[in-house]
Amino acid sequence: MTILIIQGPLPSTRSLGGDLLAGLRQLAQSAGQTLEVCTCSSLRDFLTRLRGARSPSTQFMLLDPGEINQQLQTHQDSELGDTLEALGTPYIEMQDDSEAALETAPAAGHAPLATIVTNGDLNTSYRIALGIALRQLLH
């Protein structure tokens, strides 16, 4: 079974380091899970990855929207909210800035299981989110 990380566009100063990724993969593997990472370069790519993540082997998703909110300000429709609403997979949103949380419809039926915000420390967000995902998958 797979836990899928989907990353939105990130500045180079905020990329997921190799050591962190290796540690996350090792944690997932020790719990019998596979960890995959998809890096997106735009809002359109992020939405495409979300839509394509409906595979039966994807049991959980960790979403790091990156700079998606900046692109959403010029993208007026509800495409992101509709895409998240259509997901059949539980997900956790990760942020390193409380101002950047994804804004979806308040009555969304498929809201994130959790939103992890650790101001200025995205690595900690990833560790916490993976821990929650693994715990959820054990039940």
Cα(36)–Cα(85) distance, integer angstroms: 22
Residue 104 within any structural domain of the chain = no
Between 33 and 75, where is the model more confident?
A: 33
Domain encompassing residue 133 = 2-9+17-71+80-97+110-138
Average pLDDT over the chain, rounded to whole?
82
The reported pTM is 0.85
Residue 56 within any structural domain of the chain = yes
> Residue 63: beta bridge partners?
6, 93
Residue 65 within any structural domain of the chain = yes
Residue 102 within any structural domain of the chain = no
Averaged pLDDT, 66-71 = 75
**CATH number of the domain within which 60 lies:** 3.40.50.9100
Averaged pLDDT, 94-108 = 60
Q: How many domains does the chain have?
A: 1
Residue 67 within any structural domain of the chain = yes
Lay out the sheet containing 34-39: strands in order across. Answer: 34-39, 2-7, 58-64, 91-95, 114-117
Residue 22 within any structural domain of the chain = yes
pLDDT of residue 99: 58
Q: Of the candidates 81, 76, 112, 78, which has an alpha carbon nearest to the alpha carbon of residue 95?
A: 112
Which residues does 29 contact at the CB level (< 8 Å), separation at least 6? Answer: 35
Residue 103 within any structural domain of the chain = no
